[in-house]
Chain A
Amino acid sequence: DAGITQSPRHKVTETGTPVTLRCHQTENHRYMYWYRQDPGHGLRLIHYSYGVKDTDKGEVSDGYSVSRSKTEDFLLTLESATSSQTSVYFCAIRSGTTEETQYFGPGTRLLVL
């Protein structure tokens, strides 16, 4: 499982509230990614990180922000949750520039009411 954990695993929240999801890895991987998965859309990249404090936007970044203050943690924040952000969120890692394979965390199921 590449030493990846996500927390919380399930969350129910209300529209307009802030939400932070955490991805934690124990194997010093440089690259980390946040995806959302919705029926019929596959996996879509929200944000990614290529090192501590180095992050950039993916294809569906509106309404999301990220932070990476240390190698092992990559946080995804929904500043003001909306019902359209109800989804399953997966974190993934890649170990280095010559390693192309991404490995996924267990996922967080988020419901915004």
Chain B
Amino acid sequence: GENVEQHPSTLSVQEGDSAVIKCTYSDSASNYFPWYKQELGKRPQLIIDIRSNVGEKKDQRIAVTLNKTAKHFSLHITETQPEDSAVYFCASPADRGSTLGRLYFGRGTQLTVWP
């Protein structure tokens, strides 16, 4: 959706290096930011999310940071492995103050980790 911009569209890294994917959003009232991983031919699966009351969240090699002032959030993958190769999507809420739960998704980043 237009309300979420995701960069880069493709990213290639060497195994062991770090990867960073960034998304910007337009609605300053947005308060929930999930990241999904989609392997080839599979469904998108939630890997981590963050709410606007925190600036960073970590889960093993994955972290998400949120900058509310600049209205962007980023996915960080450290010590990348070939199995991290996938398409990653960010998302943000489409409705301010609504319970409908609609999400705008970024266009995705194809991450390739070379052994």
Binding site for B on A (CB under 8 A): 31, 33, 35, 40-45, 48, 50, 56, 58-59, 90, 94, 97, 100-107
Which residue of A42, A50, A58, A90 contacts B108 across the interface (Cβ within 8 Å)?
A: A42
Q: Would you call the interface of chain B mostly helix, strand, loop, or mixed? A: loop
| Per-residue A-contact encoding for B71-114, CB less than 8 Å = 1, 0 else | 00000000000000000010001100001111101111000000
Which residue of A33, A48, A58, A100 contacts B32 across the interface (Cβ within 8 Å)?
A: A100
Query: Given A100-B32, A101-B46, A104-B43: A45 and B102 within 8 A (CB)?
Result: yes
Instruction: Report chain A residues within 8 Å CB of B28.
Output: none
Instruction: Report chain B residues within 8 Å CB of A58.
Output: 102
* Interface range, B side: 20 to 34
CA gap between A59 and B89 in the complex, in Å = 18
CA gap between A107 and B38 in the complex, in Å = 12
Q: Which of B9, B42, B108 has the most CB of A within 10 A?
A: B108
Instruction: Report chain B residues within 8 Å CB of A43.
Output: 44, 89, 105
Instruction: Report chain B residues within 8 Å CB of A56.
Output: 100
Instruction: Report chain A residues within 8 Å CB of B46.
Output: 101-103
Which residue of A40, A44, A48, A101 contacts B105 across the interface (Cβ within 8 Å)?
A: A44
Given contacts A45-B1, A45-B94, A45-B102, 6 further A-B contacts (CB under 8 A): A35-B105, A41-B107, A44-B105, A97-B99, A100-B93, A100-B101
Residue in chain A with minimal CB distance to B87: A42
Question: From residue A42, how far is it (CB to closest CB) to chain B in Å?
Answer: 4
